Amino acid sequence: MTETSLEKQIGAVAGMIARSSDIVVFTGAGVSTESGIPDFRSPGGIWTKFDPEDFTIDKFLSSPQTRRKQWRFLLESGLFTSAEPNRAHRAVAELERMGRLRAVITQNVDNLHQKAGNNPERVYELHGNMAFVKCLDCSERYALESILWQSMSGPDVPVCKKCRGILKPDVIFFGEMLPPEVLRDATNHARSCDLFIVIGSSLVVYPAAYMPAYAKEAGAKLVIINMTPTPYDMDADLVLQAGAGDAMEKILAGVRTGQS
């Protein structure tokens, strides 16, 4: 793609945003990689360093050794406590401040949309949020950082302070269903928006990847911004093969210019 054609596409997306008042943004790992969080599935990602079998709900519940591995990973990586929002996150937050964004639907678990300034009530986390830990017995919820400090102070896997139950990162493990209320609300937003923007997702993980189909079937415009092709490219009104941060920064600059 030439620089001129990319500029035209960026201008076209800015125009679509300017004409929309009911936008839903859908984000995947390609947004978070720019904050230093590796893609789980790509070469060099998490699954090349850890066995995905250790992240099944059955093994987590049945194996204290597996739980120790998980807490060791969280302690040593620091991925989800030190990461900061990047240009793409900040651009999505700006869409909300402009009054154009209805919802963010995300496959990511890093809490970075909220850190960037999006209202948590507008962020629908299909796969959970790694910033929190939940007790599987009494449902008490803790900030991850407070539990990590507890882990550092002793050799054992941390347990619930309230009931001594098993603590689990508040994310969806293999073998778990997506949270039904979140999935329902995200689906409703996808089916009633006028512009659906995919940023940094390969759109191959279901049921999350059904969201752009719901939007398109309901008559919304569909924009896909991703470094590699996706199964939905043929259905999209516009596809940008570009980095999330650079593309969104330029698109928002175009929206601001159009408003001035």
The C-alpha atoms of residue 139 and residue 165 are separated, in whole angstroms, by 9
Which of 89, 113, 127, 189 is flagged as catalytic? 127
User: What pLDDT was estimated at residue 55?
Assistant: 72
Q: Are residues 205 and 103 in the same domain?
A: yes
Residues 233 and 260 placed together within one structural domain of the fold: yes
- Least confident window among 28-32, 44-48, 101-105: 44-48
Are 188 and 241 found together in one domain? yes
94 lies in the same domain as 151 = no
State the Cα–Cα distance between residues 130 and 32, nearest whole angstrom. Answer: 13
Per-residue confidence band for 245, with pLDDT thresholds at 50, 70 and 90: very high
Q: Tell me, rounded to whole angstroms, the distance of Cα 77 from its chain centroid.
A: 19
Residue 107 has pLDDT above 90, yes or no: yes
Number of domains into which the chain is organized = 2
Q: Which amino acid is at 191?
A: R
- Tokens representing residue 47 in the block: 């699954």
Residues 72 and 145 in one domain: yes
The reply to whether 20 and 114 lie within a common domain is yes
* pLDDT tens-digit readout, 42-94: 555 555 556 667 678 888 888 888 888 777 776 665 566 678 999 999 999 99
As a whole number, the mean pLDDT across the chain is 87
Same domain assignment for residues 120 and 221: yes
Q: Are residues 151 and 259 in the same domain?
A: no
Beta bridge pairs of residue 221: 195
- What pLDDT is stored for residue 82 in this prediction? 74
* 30 shares a domain with 44: no
Verify whether residue 127 is a known catalytic residue.
yes
**What span, in angstroms and rounded, lies between the C-alpha atoms of 182 and 180?**
6
End-of-domain residue from the set 136, 171, 206? 171
Domain extent, residue 205, equals 1-37+85-126+179-260
pLDDT tens-place string over residues 118-150: 999 999 999 999 889 999 999 999 988 888 766
Residue 2 has pLDDT above 60, yes or no: no
